[in-house]
Structure 1
Amino acid sequence: MFNFDEIVDRTKTPCEKWNKYKEQDVIPAWVADMDFKSPPCVIDALQQRVNEGVFGYTDIDDATYDAIISFVKRHYDWDIKKEWLIFTHGVVSSMNLACLSVETQSVMTTTPIYPHFIKAPKYAHKEVLAIRMKEENNRWVLDLEAMEKAITPTCKLFMLCNPYNPAGTIFTKAELEQLGAFCLKHDLTICSDEIHADLLLSPKSRHVPIASLNLELQERTITLMAPSKTFNIAGLQASFAIIPSAELRKSFKRTMGSMVGGINLLGITALKAAYLEGDAWLNELRIYLAENLKMVQTFVSKNPKLKLLDQEATFLAWIDASALNVKSPYEFFLQHGVGLSDGEPFGDKNFVRLNFGTQKSVLETILNRMQKAMDSLC
């Protein structure tokens, strides 16, 4: 058993999440960064590597490649090859590389969505075709009809987020097949951010990489993954792109050039340990997060002016606060001591995103403060 209830005082280090409100009586529940210690296997591997005392230029060894290949097969039933892997500092930098390396005048994605899906195309001077997700059967899903109406001949890249951040949707195989057919019809390359693929909140859930569906989609997809969210090692900046197409891979590498390097030696160490030995910890984490989600759902159910659709993955709850009739739901809850993510950068200022990847005692305090905020409206 792993102790996810253990409180870690993160204010003693320059922690982005906790330092944002360091001088205020505000509990941070914003950036996608959990408050749990990383798995013991990761900590032990890092300590052993640090004890060696030499931190020079480091190769990525075959054991690291094998760890990734094995993890992807074990968790997603997808057979990948060593030569398909390209290592980067993070998924965000990889998204930007994809927008620069694919020849296109515009990029299609969905909204509301993690802000870098909108920023990355703009940085590459591409037009953004952002199609709003729709509510269906109490889930956030793709609006394929709206996508068909909006697509243009100059758009050759679709940016997918699966599982979906911020809405928590795990796209089903059938939904991905429909999206795949759309991309094939319009000759779109797919950049699929799957960084939350392991954070599934039901034992029945299964993540399907869109590239694993068939060879046609595999050859036009750049899949972005990382252990950073899953094992809480984002600060080690270890991520990778899976690019089966030799042509796409060449273009991606050429865009990287000498400007974007690979992962550092401690990132390599942590990634390998997590993927080789972290499954038991991950299984318990999923259970703990699912219990935390129930706490959030109970809170929302008590407040008819708030709405939360079915949450299938991630530790991020996308809460509709439009019925509050306040100028900014983010500012409203901040005034009551909770620092959520403002929905506006995601595409809808009437929402807030709540990070429930924290200890139950901390989450309880967060929800109590949010309840006091709700009670103040009565």
Structure 2
Amino acid sequence: MTKIVPIDRRGSDCNKWRSFEADVIPLPVADMDFAADPAIIAAIEKRISHPVLGYGSATDELRQTIVDAMLAEFGWAIKPEWLVFLPGVEPGFNMALSAFSEPGQTVMQEYPVYKPLRTAPATWGLKTAAVWQTPDDKGHWHSDSGDLAAAAERSSLMLLCNPQNPTGRVYTRDELLFISQLCLKHDMLLVSDEIHSGLTLDGRRHIPVASLSKDIEARTITLMAASKTWNIAGLKAAFAIIADDAVRQKFMGAKKGLVDSVNVLGLAAMEAAYGQCQDWRDAVRKTLAENRAILHRFLAEHLPETGCVPAEASFLAWIDLSAYRLNKPAAEWLLQHARIGVSSGTDFGENLGGWIRLNFACAPETLAEALSRMARALAKE
């Protein structure tokens, strides 16, 4: 049986644990405090055993491994030549904005959304048509179809984040069909960040939007990576799936000397992850669901005034602390009074100071202590 092993990362090069003073429990950065699958470590060691670490590129075997994984996991038949390897998803959506937009044009995306994606349009002199999601009475985050349609009328490109960060929502087939129809109707390119697609919870199945039809496939740039699912973000390896030859060539031209090749160790790890590590992925999904349950039980029992819809994918909890009427943004307040570090709601959109994003991919004991600190501090308010 595959075991998920929490690791004490204090004293290492870990960004999350180095960003705060020693007495702070850090739960912001979106990686996991779990040891990687031994098969991935073995693949890296095997690659290092070759004494030359010069420039490298994706092998035919890696390309076929990803093709097989897309078919097995999502029922999506892609071709090896559709793959463009990148050092990260973030360079990918910036390349797309650079290649397919002109300064002054409008890009649509749904808010709240994680900061690198939210702020990317402005980097390229673009305007954003923001469509705000809200939770319905069943706790499912969604955007109003009328708002989406209105934004599409004035946009040249759509940025999609599915599964969504920070809300943790997994888009339904009907929602994705509606989005794809808007893109086709308004001749918009669709750039879909699907980096959390391997960590759907509760038996949900991720649907790549490009898999819905040949029409939408031809005008979609899908961005994926093994980094979130198998906790190898530091190896800097991702990929785009682009079916249309002309779109792919224009996208690749947007590197402009700014986007480098992929780390050879990242390529080796990626091949192992997609080819050998399904058991570890299934085990980490179970661990995340257990930690999510710990979180929501605690909030219900000790902090009932919080608002938090259970994440449908990945390891990020989007928590509303507005009811406590804190005198500063909630993340700042919690750092000062509870000594826990979380992502501020203001990173994900305007007027979200009462919200936080909390990473629950850690040892259960760490999560429990962080939540206890939060409850004790808020009880004094």
TM-score with structure 2 length normalisation? 0.95
**1:27-68 per-position Cα deviation (integer Å, ceiling 9, x unaligned):** 000010100011010011111211222201213211110111
Per the TM alignment, residue 12 of structure 1 is displaced from its structure 2 partner at its CA by 2.5
**1:7-42 per-position Cα deviation (integer Å, ceiling 9, x unaligned):** 423222221110001x34110000101000110100
Counting only pairs closer than 5 Å after superposition, residues 191-210 of structure 1 correspond to structure 2 as: 191-203=191-203, 205-210=204-209
Q: 2:371 aligns with which of 367, 374, 377?
A: 367
Work out the CA distance in 2 between the residues paired with 1:80 and 1:285.
Answer: 27
Could you tell me which residue of structure 2 aligns to residue 355 of structure 1? 359
Work out the CA distance in 1 between the residues paired with 2:149 and 2:261.
Answer: 37
Could you tell me which residue of structure 2 aligns to residue 338 of structure 1? 340
Could you tell me which residue of structure 1 aligns to residue 272 of structure 2? 273
Please state if 1:140 is matched with 2:141.
yes
Per the TM alignment, residue 304 of structure 1 is displaced from its structure 2 partner at its CA by 2.3
Q: Give the letter aligned to residue 141 of structure 2.
A: W
Work out the CA distance in 1 between the residues paired with 2:45 and 2:144.
Answer: 48
Q: Give the letter aligned to residue 363 of structure 2.
A: Q
- Matched-pair contact (CA < 8 Å) for 2:6–2:35: no
Could you tell me which residue of structure 2 aligns to residue 285 of structure 1? 284
- Matched-pair contact (CA < 8 Å) for 1:200–1:286: yes
Work out the CA distance in 2 between the residues paired with 1:351 and 1:222.
Answer: 31
Counting only pairs closer than 5 Å after superposition, residues 35-50 of structure 1 correspond to structure 2 as: 35-50=33-48
Could you tell me which residue of structure 2 aligns to residue 181 of structure 1? 181
Could you tell me which residue of structure 1 aligns to residue 172 of structure 2? 172
70-79 or 256-265: bigger deviation: 256-265
Counting only pairs closer than 5 Å after superposition, residues 1-378 of structure 1 correspond to structure 2 as: 1-4=1-4, 6-21=5-20, 23-104=21-102, 105-136=105-136, 137-153=138-154, 155-203=155-203, 205-302=204-301, 303-326=303-326, 327-335=328-336, 336-347=338-349, 348-377=352-381
Q: Give the letter aligned to residue 48 of structure 2.
A: V
Unpaired runs of at least 5, structure 2: none
Work out the CA distance in 2 between the residues paired with 1:7 and 1:314.
Answer: 16
For the residue of structure 1 that corresponds to 2:56, the secondary structure is coil
**1:231-262 per-position Cα deviation (integer Å, ceiling 9, x unaligned):** 11100000000011112111101111333122
- Matched-pair contact (CA < 8 Å) for 1:30–1:353: yes
Per the TM alignment, residue 344 of structure 1 is displaced from its structure 2 partner at its CA by 0.2
Q: Give the letter aligned to residue 98 of structure 1.
A: A
Per the TM alignment, residue 148 of structure 1 is displaced from its structure 2 partner at its CA by 2.3
Work out the CA distance in 1 between the residues paired with 2:221 and 2:142.
Answer: 21
Work out the CA distance in 1 between the residues paired with 2:192 and 2:152.
Answer: 18
For the residue of structure 1 that corresponds to 2:200, the secondary structure is coil
Work out the CA distance in 2 between the residues paired with 1:258 and 1:331.
Answer: 38
Work out the CA distance in 1 between the residues paired with 2:6 and 2:174.
Answer: 41
Work out the CA distance in 2 between the residues paired with 1:81 and 1:170.
Answer: 25
Work out the CA distance in 1 between the residues paired with 2:92 and 2:210.
Answer: 17
- Matched-pair contact (CA < 8 Å) for 1:221–1:243: yes
Work out the CA distance in 1 between the residues paired with 2:76 and 2:288.
Answer: 25
- Matched-pair contact (CA < 8 Å) for 1:49–1:269: yes
Identity among equivalent pairs (%): 38
Work out the CA distance in 1 between the residues paired with 2:185 and 2:135.
Answer: 25
- Matched-pair contact (CA < 8 Å) for 2:57–2:262: no
Work out the CA distance in 1 between the residues paired with 2:132 and 2:186.
Answer: 19
TM-score with structure 1 length normalisation? 0.96
Work out the CA distance in 2 between the residues paired with 1:368 and 1:142.
Answer: 34
**1:341-361 per-position Cα deviation (integer Å, ceiling 9, x unaligned):** 111010122210010011112
Per the TM alignment, residue 130 of structure 1 is displaced from its structure 2 partner at its CA by 1.2
- For this pair of structures, how many residues does the alignment match? 373
Per the TM alignment, residue 310 of structure 1 is displaced from its structure 2 partner at its CA by 3.4
Work out the CA distance in 2 between the residues paired with 1:353 and 1:269.
Answer: 32
Work out the CA distance in 2 between the residues paired with 1:7 and 1:39.
Answer: 12
Unpaired runs of at least 5, structure 1: none
